[in-house]
Amino acid sequence: MKLTAVSGLDFRSFGVKILVELLIVWLGLFAVFTGSSGIFYVYLKHYSAKPWDLKMDKNFRPPLSILVPVHNEEEVIKAKLENIKEVSYPKENIEVIVADDVSQDKTLMKVKNFMENNPELNIRVVRQNRHAGKSAALNKALAISTNPIVIVSDADTQWSSDMLQKALHYLSDPKVGAVTGCGVIENKGQSWVTKGETDYLQLGSFLRLGESKIHSTIRFEGGFCAYKRDAFEKFDCESGSDDSGTALFVVQNGFRTIFVPEARFMTNFPEDLKGKIRVKKRRANHMMWLWIKSLKLLLKRRLLLPKKIAIPEIFFFIFNPVVFFALIGVTLITIIIYPVSLVPLIIVLSLASIVPKVKSYLIEITLGNIILFYSLVSCIRGKKIFSWNTA
């Protein structure tokens, strides 16, 4: 009887020891996952409130080449060209180049009709001979562009009439090589999916502004990207990210790349979860390849993006998803061994879900890290997801 009692006591002590060790590991992973984000958030909040350290000329009105990449865009291309026509900017200083990647619908016919009805706007068309992707189409358009400022805008986005006035004077500073705008979801109130993406974009905009105030952000958006022609040689075809990848080229050439929050463009976002995942998988794959490239440059001491920006971003994109899955794994092991631990977890998540913003961020963080982890595994396996599903 005495031996049995001692064995039971030893078993309970062993169980408590395992629980304590699991809690220590869990708290450590949770601290790394949330603490790193919190510190970086506070750090960027401090910088985002600072004034710009730029010398800007409000009257900066350089000649522009606006590149519009298209692939089967018959539903939106006319509205896009109308939008460019209505922009408040001297038309004699604008050339528009439609870069077609072998569209098989009525896109080019609609472009031709628009050109005939609007001869005052200088529009040219350049077409790929084969389906080679968005970046390749842009590089073909870049080769025939004639102006010192090159702007890229996706066909399914719309600018405000004063977009160029709000954005271009930032490029008047000699140190700035490229600027990007702020995407606003036009259908943000249609579903919980679009509402969540709106919250995510608002947070991302804040982070990009802080990075820009420090030096540069390379998180560019395809709705509006403006580059100095002498700040880069070509659009990035390697990572599949013609916007952010090209921003890294600009930084590596010694220029700054900045986010202009007041330069807003409108876009639509998928209203269902399946569509959201498809879009975010493509974006995550692009950014994962880009930050892997940045990590390699950093290790070779060739990365010109400041370490105070690059190291946190590399951690968030490459390492934090691994920490997140380790955290999930330890949580599941703890629940399996000690089912009662599920009770406080449910209570905490239920209380957090009462506040809509907190609930939205929890969903976005969870979904985002799952997609990033998937993208990391895909990149390790060498998989790349290009725009327009190139052959």
Q: Which residues on adjacent β-strands are paired with residue 267? A: 185
Closest by Cα among 239, 336, 325, 241 to 289:
239
Q: What is the pLDDT of residue 11?
A: 52
pLDDT per position as a tens digit, 230-260: 999 999 988 878 999 999 999 999 999 999 9
Q: Is residue 8 very low, low, confident or very high in pLDDT (cuts 50, 70, 90)? A: low
The residue-averaged pLDDT of 168-186 equals: 96
pLDDT of residue 55: 94
DSSP secondary structure code for residue 353 in this structure: H
Contact 303, 310 (CB under 8 A): yes
**Closest alpha carbon to 213 in 266, 176, 160:** 176
Helices 356-380 and 273-299, interaxial angle, to 10°? 60
Give the type of residue at 43: Y
How far apart (Å, rounded) are the C-alpha atoms in residues 291 and 376? Answer: 11
pLDDT of residue 14: 62
Domain boundaries, the chain: 28-57+157-391
Answer yes or no: are the C-beta atoms of 166 and 58 closer than 8 Å.
Answer: no
Short-list 330, 331, 335, 323, CA closest to 365 = 323
Going through the chain in order, the beta strands assigned E by DSSP cover 64-70, 94-100, 122-127, 149-152, 158-159, 176-185, 225-228, 256-267
CB 44 within 8 A of CB 349: no
pLDDT given for residue 338 in this prediction = 85
Per-residue pLDDT at 390: 44
Beta strands 225-228 and 149-152, pairing class: antiparallel
What per-residue confidence (pLDDT) applies to 12? 64
Q: Please say if the pLDDT value at position 353 is more than 80.
A: no
Answer whether residue 27 shows pLDDT above 60: yes
Which residues does residue 100 pair with via DSSP β-bridges, in sequence order?
70, 127
Predicted local distance difference test score (pLDDT) of residue 2: 47
- 68, pLDDT greater than 60: yes
- How confident is the model over 359-386, as a mean pLDDT? 90
Q: How far apart are CA 23 and CA 334, in angstroms?
A: 8
Assign 360 a pLDDT band (cuts: 50, 70, 90): confident
Task: Give the mean pLDDT of the chain.
Answer: 91
**289-322 pLDDT per residue, tens:** 999 999 999 999 999 999 999 999 999 999 999 9
R_g of the chain computed on alpha carbons: 25
Confidence of residue 349 (pLDDT cuts 50, 70, 90): confident
CB 60 within 8 A of CB 68: no
Report in angstroms the alpha-carbon separations of 32 from 25, 74, 291, 345, 390.
11, 47, 20, 19, 38
Q: Are strands 149-152 and 158-159 parallel, antiparallel or unpaired?
A: unpaired
Q: Is the pLDDT of residue 36 over 80?
A: yes
| pLDDT 10s digits, 139-174 | 999 999 999 999 999 999 999 999 999 999 999 999
- What's the predicted TM-score (pTM) here? 0.89
> Which single residue is written with the structure tokens 């409108």?
266
pLDDT at position 3: 47
- pLDDT of 391 > 50? The answer is no
